[in-house]
Chains A and B, each alone.
Chain A
């Protein structure tokens, strides 16, 4: 002993933790208050989507892809459609491309408003959460009017879109943009750009330097907040986006400095809200008339896809960053040989885990919230529960049985019989 006492503490954050919206696990090694190592464990939300998709045809996967994540349900389904279109060589009508742009940007608005609220919540500023989520209702209503649902609006179809944007939708969207411009955005800018308390809390917290953002391939606002000028819509020359003048937004245009901290990421999101509104207005202006689907009948489309044999990549800038889907077809089957996707949260999580090293433990919740993690997206692959050795994984039925036994053990006087409720827990007469 040289008299210097040194000890490290390992603190698990997650899988279920008040600071996290979704299950994930960070094992944080601390030296006092300083973080010296962050380890990420994923898989608490695995639903086996790729495995399920081995048993679905092209059109069924469209709806499965949408259910990867509720918030970016348009993005997944859009990117998957693009991959299939590239694989099969389907040409999308121009009007459909514009409708995709409009719905995609509406989704970006609702996702960014959601994240602004969440970051407000993690720093204890709950008024921001309530008010930004209240403002978000307006865009959710528009999405419901277009697609029929608040989430999972199923707007896309391979080779086009399923829902048209009519005059009444256009009017409602323009009204919404006006409302956001005049009433919501000034308040949001007031909070996230000019409020001294918010700035004091978010400045220099969770810094991702530009070098780390590039090395760890961070995506979306996380990368752009560190001054990495990339945006798939711009870099990929994706569909009609170049005509609409979409460019990567970095904090430099707003505040003049790029530090790569939580504050900068929020500045990027505020900037993208403005950008999305401009894009929507321009798209509504330029939208041509015409067909919205390349192949109007679904069975004809499936027949065409059956003959396709190739591979395609779809890329799109989802609200959180680059989303990429890969589809490989096989001749004579309406099931793809392979469907694989990668969500922006996946690289972002590892980038933030690296960037947290050296920071204070109190910055963990806000730093994690600032990348807008979407774990349902990230944990999409494999698996099914299994009996391993002596361990037994309990099913819903077993758990119910045990809980009923326990209730009887605690209070043998209970007269009431358990009722049969729900379709997921058929109990039978044995209990």
Chain B
């Protein structure tokens, strides 16, 4: 299955999704498929991808703070056995006051560490995640602080220590 066939198949199944194919410049063109879909349909879409290619490889969850909502983009590699693979980025968004997303660990088991990571760094809530513990942050890190958020729940200035240029840390006084 190539990019066009994939876009057609996906578009027929999810007509409401926004699908865009980007192509970077010559001399080495590479096409990527970017999909935007509502979070209600998100889990179905992931299931559909798994149906299309049972061997799809899960690469990354990119979580982002975009003002009043959080964006999550999932990158996947499809049909890698047939030479040139399809690079697919499927994104969704959630409002900040209700940051719930369905977990996709039942479809792609390898998504678990990425979900744990985004949960602690951006404050997503993945519903049905089998292992909601922290992965990177220490256990005594304060609750309710999400380091990569850009609003008031992010890192506060008074939490920052020993940051900046090494010649200017702490030693300037006296």
Please list the residues of chain A having a beta carbon within 8 angstroms of any beta carbon in chain B.
Answer: 41-43, 46, 48, 50-51, 54, 85-86, 89-91, 94, 97, 214-217, 229-230, 234-240, 311-313, 315, 322, 324, 326, 328, 337-338, 340, 342, 346-347, 350-351, 379, 381-386, 388-389, 391, 395-397, 423-424, 426, 428-429
Tell me whether A214 and B28 are in contact (CB under 8 A). no
Give chain B residues whose Cβ lies under 8 Å from the Cβ of A90: 25
- A-B interface contact total, Cβ < 8 Å: 148
Count chain B residues whose beta carbon lies closer than 8 angstroms to a beta carbon of A: 60
* CB–CB A388/B60 < 8 A: no
List the B residue with the shortest CB-CB distance to A338: B64
- List residues of chain A with CB within 8 A of the CB of B114: 342
Residues of B close to A386: CB separation below 8 A: 141-142, 145, 159
* Contact assessment for A42 and B141 in the assembled complex, using a CB-CB cutoff below 8 Å: no
Chain B 128-156 against A: per-residue CB contact (8 Å), 1 yes, 0 no? 00000011111011100101101000010
Smallest Cβ-Cβ distance to B63: which chain A residue: A340
- Contact indicator A237/B28 (Cβ below 8 Å): yes
C-alpha gap A164/B73 in the complex (Å):
37
Q: Are A384 and B87 in contact (CB under 8 A)?
A: no
Interface stretch of the complex, out of B3-11, B74-82, B96-104 = B74-82
The answer for the CA separation of A90 and B25 in the assembled complex, in Å, is 7
Whose C-beta in chain A lies nearest to the C-beta of B29?
A237
- A52 CB to closest chain B CB (Å) equals 8
Complex CA gap A315/B80 in Å reads: 14
- CB nearest to B162 among chain A residues: A395
Q: Identify the closest chain B residue to A382 (Cβ).
A: B147
- Would you list the 5 A-B pairs with minimal beta carbon distance, nearest first? A426-B171, A382-B147, A43-B136, A342-B60, A235-B85
Contact residue among B30, B83, B121, B159 (Cβ-Cβ distance under 8 Å from A234): B83
Residues in B neighbouring A342, C-beta threshold 8 A: 59-60, 114
> In the complex, what residues of B have CB within 8 A of residue A43's CB?
134-138
**Are B121 and A423 interface neighbours, CB within 8 A?**
no
Choice from B34, B83, B147 contacting A48 with Cβ under 8 Å: B147
Shortest CB-to-CB span from A102 to chain B, Å, is 17
Residues of A within 8 A of B167 (CB): 423
Distance A385 CA – B142 CA, assembled complex (angstroms): 11
Complex Cα gap A416–B30 (Å): 66
Provide the residues of chain B in CB contact with A347, threshold 8 Å: 58, 110, 113
B1 beta carbon closer than 8 Å to chain A: no
How many angstroms between the C-alpha atoms of A50 and B146 in the bound complex?
A: 13
B115 at the A interface (CB under 8 A): no
Q: With a CB–CB cut-off of 8 A, which chain B residues contact A395?
A: 161-162
- A311 / chain B contacts, CB cutoff of 8 Å: 34
Residues of chain B in range 21-71 having any CB-CB distance to chain A below 8 Å: 22, 24-28, 30, 32, 34, 55, 57-60, 62-64
B142 touches A217 (CB 8 A): no
A382 with B136: in contact, given A340-B62, A342-B59, A388-B142 (CB under 8 Å)?
yes
* Cα distance A269–B156 in the bound complex, in angstroms: 45
